[in-house]
Structure 1
Amino acid sequence: MLPVARLGSRLVQTSTLRGIRLPLLASAHFSSGPIGGPRVAIVGSGPAGFYTADRLLRRAGAASQAAPEADGSATSAALRIDILESLPVPFGLARHGVAPDHQAMKQCINRFDALLAEQREAAESATGQPQLRWFGNVTVGAGPPAPCGAPVPEGPPPPALSLAALRSAYDAVILAHGAQDGRDLGVPVVDVATGRPLHATSRGTAAHGAALERMLVNLLPARDFVCWYNGQTDHTECPVPALAAPAAAWLPVSASELAPGLTGVRVAELPAGAGARALVVGNGNVALDVARALLRGDRAFEKLDVPRAGVLEVLRRHAAAPGDRRIRHVEVIGRRGPAEVSFTISELRELVGAAIARHAGQAPDPEKFPLDAADPPGEEVVLVVPEKALVLQALDAAPAPARPRVRLLALLRQAVEAAVDPAEEPNVYARAGRTLTFRFFAAPTAILAQGVATPVEPEGPSADGCPASYYQVAGLRLGLSTVDPATGRATPRNTGTGLETQILLPASVVLTSVGFRVGALDDEAPIDTAAGANRLAHDGQGRVLPAGEPQPPADSSGSSSTALAPVYCAGWAKTGPVGVIASTMADAYATADVVWEDLAARGGTRVDTAPGFEGLPIDHSQAITAAQWALLDREERARGEAAGALRDKIPSRAEQLRLSRGGSASPE
């Protein structure tokens, strides 16, 4: 029996997810009369989009029940919501961003899918009209140009709409498209052969508006790697050649290969035969997800919801490669100290729990750590923490943490105490089958690049706008800081202390997990240009501001006369890429309340012609409906069941469209 919570005058079922009580979605409401009343478009079908729709349906249902004879009752009961999605599949971050081995965090998909099922039933009914509809393969706005090396969509482009077109067909438009791009490091790229910078990494200076940083083989945002193993549309090829095709060519450079200008800094190279090293820059949950995937490989995803041919086969080939060709060493790099990490305790425990147990002389619990417990001798993951004493000092000096972080930092201390300091055991990388290194107080100051074929020539792009030749990443140069004994925070190192201030880390792969970037879909909905902002410009309540409009103070409610009505934003598009699914739900509800109150203040419907999706200037036959998505969903589940897995995702856009439209699967 599900617990029940009261929301206003309605009883709402709730579920508990990792100790957080989340209200389940309201049932869709249907009207047997003609479609009328206000029409709302939501751009993006991730958690923010679905939760916003859910809240609006709740408000409409509550209003019609509370005042069935009031003037606004027809408006409430006849509310129509269309969710528009650029991909042929729904659920956004919940499907493509949450790690496959974190199925509990994907439970919201079940409720979203139930809502779509009710939509399908209403569409098939002779009398019912769904209040909520989903349309996939519909793009709003042109968006920024794809960076060089980004996946190229298959087949014809999906129907594209301007924000102005949506505004002419709906009474309110809500942008819930999230953050589509990973942030770059934004540091110089240095040629290891010459010691000189190759090119500035600021966007807009290289072909296609992409940084040289995006043109380096085996260097990419962690998001791209996550999209690949999660089977996001168009991410059909492994973006890490060193993983997909282990070879000597991808092994890290040695100190002897570095230019004289780089050799004044200590080079922390791996011993010969130790295999390849991957650097993950960032100290958040995504960084740990990526580290876990690299270390556990195919065993972690065997029975879960990943593309079996495109992901599992690649990971299996990598696991079967000779040890001196495989990625056996993963290093997580944070510019701040251990007390300032942003990952959660559950993410950390998955990675370090077994090592802590072994340090205490115990075997890993096979129920809690089944993969670690099954590691063959010599393949156990060894924890490594450089400058271990400094890290423990930082934990000692840190102010008392807020209650939710007490257990996290206690576990992190256990991990540091169980780790090996390479200064005390220099041969750790030679003896260990695999290592996981946590390096704190280290900020990238340069990306090391090694020439492949001919150097990149930004002035001479190929026909597609991207350079025809490239470099591969060779590692990072890190600037090192130390701990402020008064605060436990990072502070610059003084050269007079005897501590080294820089270090070179040769590596085969560098994955950057330093945050996401919210993109503007349309010039009418600009990005907030305030210092440090990474969201759409809005009035503080989700009303999007027009281009050139100054941002009001944080406590200002704004007004409909100055906002770009009727355009709103929700989720990461509104807050920036922060928080988890539960916080996204709360924000989506807040935006929905603002939209509802604005609709009520305007008296409901504003548009008299070309209402809703049917009035949009696109080829409607190219859009995917919820009923068509159900066909693809059924096929993925069936393929997964046949292989003993939850699902076999299909990342090919062409295949997604073919199966959604009732076509047969392509031959294997």
Structure 2
Amino acid sequence: MRHIAVIGSGPAGYYTAEACQRLWGDVVRVDIIDRLPVPFGLIRSGVAPDHQSIKGVSRRYEAVALTDNIRFVGNVTIGRDVSIEELRGLYDAVVLATGAPHDRKLDIAGAELPGVVGSAALVGWYNGHPDYAELAPPLAGPGAVIIGHGNVALDVARVLAKAQQEFAGSDIVAHALAALDAATIDTITLLGRRGPHQIAMTTKEVAELNDLARAAPVIDPADLPPIEDDAQLDTGHRKVMAQLRAYAARGDSPKPIRIVFDFYAMPVAIEGGDRVQGVRVERTRLDEDGHAVGTGETYTIPASLVVSCVGYRTPPIEGVPYDDSAGRFANDEGRVGPGLYAVGWARRGPTGTIGTNRPDGYAIVEKIAADIGEGGGKSGRPALDSLLAERGVDVVTFRDWQKIETAEVAAARADAPREKFTTVEAMLAAREG
């Protein structure tokens, strides 16, 4: 029997468990350990609440979780309830699938001012993550600045701009829905250091701005390169450019909220006294290598809210080698140390889509199989249960999660699939039925 521990119950964790099951069948036991009482990680707390079709992949993970040899071990914190070294002693392999849930620091003056939030925090707030339920972002000012030109920045802009009725069918939490409904932001500026040809947005996300009830995208035609230059792009990016050109051709819109794409714009400081009042920006140009360099021309964009979408980091774990510059665990193609592996964003950093984690998980399991060979046979699951019971840890099972989910569905608004519990205490209470 092989005993595998997976730390983290997001896509990378469940794809790894699925790969173990496919490879070893009945001779493997996989424990998926998570600090929260609820599974699915990024799917629950990171995907935009109005992208329910993407969240539907959790049904695949649920099918894996309900098999006899895969187990969810929720409400267990690594370092507090059990250490990595202890798990390495109990399991034939330990796989770190913790993702990259922390914001990369915005390294400019004023970044610590109230009103500056990271995208992980803001997305966690409107998705009901317990770590961010009390965030209370300032939405009463006229302007918001989003730093970044990727899909996450677009998600944030879209959520800030939507009218309440446009969230029908989403699982945005009630506290965020109420706060957004009362918001007075009328200009949302997306800052990007480079130009339209360098943005990291996909066609679907850009096109979603086309259908907003009270907001319209604003693009300066002068920022667009000559149309013949689009030929050098791949097919997907050419479609993005076609959409951006269509937005630029529209000119002014009567809609009350403007989503402004500010290209060749590098934030150099957050301005304000006891709170954010604006973002000082330097105009850029591209050098011969395609890098953004400052021109010396600066201007200020008024804002009460600044959202930094500049990347994510994996939180370090005591005793695990860490690559601080990359913001992930130090590893050699997924191998961290004897019996210790990393997968997904914890291995490669915050790159790729949800689906990218599937081949990554399968590749890691192949490495584990090669390292274990015909060996294995550590104590695994029974020993962990004994250790956690001895320490009084209140473990949440997948069956418990199903009770929590049933309670969330029952508490939902008429036009929502669920109303998420936003505290661990509420989750644990719902488990009792």
- Structures share a fold, TM > 0.5? yes
Supply the distance in 2 between the matched residues of 1:638 and 1:399 (Cα, whole angstroms).
Answer: 52
Match runs of 1:330-345 below 5 Å: 330-345=188-203
Q: 1:315 aligns with which of 180, 194, 201?
A: 180
Higher relative contact order (CA 8 A, sep 6+): 2
Match runs of 1:247-326 below 5 Å: 251=141, 276-308=142-174, 310-318=175-183, 326=184
2:230–2:238 Cα contact (<8 Å) kept: no
Matched, 1:443 2:216: no
Residue type of the partner of 1:505? Answer: I
Supply the distance in 1 between the matched residues of 2:390 and 2:264 (Cα, whole angstroms).
Answer: 52
Partner of 2:280: 477
Partner of 1:223: 120
The answer to which of 391-400 and 474-483 deviates more is 391-400
Partner of 1:162: 83
Residue type of the partner of 1:43? Answer: I
2:219–2:247 Cα contact (<8 Å) kept: no
* Greater radius of gyration (CA): 1
Partner of 2:424: 653
Match runs of 1:557-572 below 5 Å: 564-572=337-345
* Inter-CA distance 618–288: structure 2 relative to 1 (3 Å threshold): farther
* Inter-CA distance 93–491: structure 2 relative to 1 (3 Å threshold): closer
Q: 2:232 aligns with which of 374, 379, 400?
A: 400
User: Shift of the alpha carbon at 1:397?
Assistant: 4.5
Partner of 2:323: 528
User: Shift of the alpha carbon at 1:335?
Assistant: 0.8
User: Shift of the alpha carbon at 1:82?
Assistant: 0.5
Residue type of the partner of 1:492? Answer: V
* Inter-CA distance 588–239: structure 2 relative to 1 (3 Å threshold): farther
SS in 2 for 1:311: helix
Q: 1:492 aligns with which of 274, 281, 293?
A: 293
Partner of 1:504: 300
* Inter-CA distance 60–504: structure 2 relative to 1 (3 Å threshold): same
Partner of 2:376: 604
Q: What per-residue deviation string (whole Å, max 9, x for no partner) do you get for residues 194-230 of structure 1?
A: xxxxxxxxxxxxxxxxxxx34x221100111111111
Q: What per-residue deviation string (whole Å, max 9, x for no partner) do you get for residues 108-140 of structure 1?
A: 111212333x34xxxxxxxxxx21110111111
Q: What per-residue deviation string (whole Å, max 9, x for no partner) do you get for residues 611-638 of structure 1?
A: 3443457635511111111111101111
Instruction: State the TM-score, normalizing by the size of structure 1.
Output: 0.61
Consecutive unaligned residues in structure 1, runs of 5 or more: 1-36, 62-76, 120-129, 142-158, 190-212, 252-275, 319-325, 354-368, 421-427, 451-470, 496-500, 545-563, 663-668
Supply the distance in 1 between the matched residues of 2:27 and 2:162 (Cα, whole angstroms).
Answer: 51
1:169–1:615 Cα contact (<8 Å) kept: no
Supply the distance in 1 between the matched residues of 2:185 and 2:177 (Cα, whole angstroms).
Answer: 16
* Inter-CA distance 634–91: structure 2 relative to 1 (3 Å threshold): same
Supply the distance in 2 between the matched residues of 1:337 and 1:509 (Cα, whole angstroms).
Answer: 23
1:481–1:490 Cα contact (<8 Å) kept: no
Partner of 1:385: 219
RMSD: 2.3
SS in 1 for 2:410: helix
Residue type of the partner of 2:304? Answer: S
SS in 2 for 1:410: helix
* Inter-CA distance 591–613: structure 2 relative to 1 (3 Å threshold): farther
Partner of 2:310: 514
Partner of 1:198: none
Matched, 1:39 2:3: yes
Partner of 2:386: 614
Q: 2:359 aligns with which of 583, 586, 591?
A: 586
User: Shift of the alpha carbon at 1:506?
Assistant: 1.7
The answer to which of 590-599 and 283-292 deviates more is 590-599
User: Shift of the alpha carbon at 1:393?
Assistant: 2.6
